[in-house]
């Protein structure tokens, strides 16, 4: 597990909670929720430095509020997790191998499976 990202401000060791980026063409500083990955041209700020943020004269500061729905797992995430757990809990169907050579050239019938390995009987 990687350590939590820290505030980009010099001598500040608090955890980062927001990411600051600049749109130079529009003279805008954008402060939003902490980015998923650290970017080289963005600054991660703690709560204190996010609140104290000011921009150069003539620049606009846009403060993007975090999406409350994004703070936790979504319904889709929970359903996907439940489906994955159900799938692992189901017994694996053992396919019948047909023909004298089977599916991959083996002779016999598959009687079990352990991971990617198959158990073949030589009836």
pLDDT at 103: 52
pTM: 0.53
What are the start-end ranges of the H helices in the chain?
Answer: 47-51, 75-89
CB-CB contact of 19 with 51 (8 Å): no
Looking at residue 39, its pLDDT comes to 87
Write down the pLDDT at residue 81: 77
85 φ/ψ sector (left φ>0, alpha ψ -120 to 50, else beta): alpha
Q: How would you list the strands of the sheet with 43-45, edge to edge?
A: 43-45, 18-23, 28-33, 60-63
Mean pLDDT, consecutive 10-residue segments, the chain of 123 residues?
Answer: 82 94 93 90 95 93 76 69 75 57 56 70 66
Instruction: Round to whole Å and give the CA distance between 37 and 2.
Output: 12
What was the pLDDT predicted at 11?
Answer: 93
Question: Can you say how many angstroms the Cα of residue 78 is from the centroid of all Cα atoms in its chain?
Answer: 14
Handedness of CA 98, 102, 108, 111 (dihedral sign): negative
pLDDT of the residue at 79: 78
Confidence (pLDDT) at 53: 93
pLDDT of residue 59: 94
Position 8 scores a pLDDT of: 94
Q: How far is CA 27 from CA 24, 60, 87, 112, in A?
A: 5, 7, 52, 66
Domain boundaries, given as residue ranges, for the chain: 1-90, 93-123
């Amino acid at each position: 597990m990687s350590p939590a990202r820290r505030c980009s401000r010099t001598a500040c060791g608090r955890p980062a909670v927001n990411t600051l980026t600049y749109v130079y063409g529009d003279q805008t500083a954008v402060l939003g929720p902490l980015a998923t990955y650290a970017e080289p041209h963005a600054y991660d700020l703690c709560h204190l430095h996010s609140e104290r943020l000011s921009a150069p004269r003539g620049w606009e500061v846009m403060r993007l509020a975090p999406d409350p729905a994004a703070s936790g797992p979504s319904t889709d995430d929970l359903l996907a997790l439940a489906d994955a757990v159900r799938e692992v809990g189901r017994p694996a169907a053992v396919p019948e191998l047909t023909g004298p050579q089977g599916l991959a050239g083996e002779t016999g019938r598959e009687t079990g499976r352990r991971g990617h390995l198959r158990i073949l009987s030589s009836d």
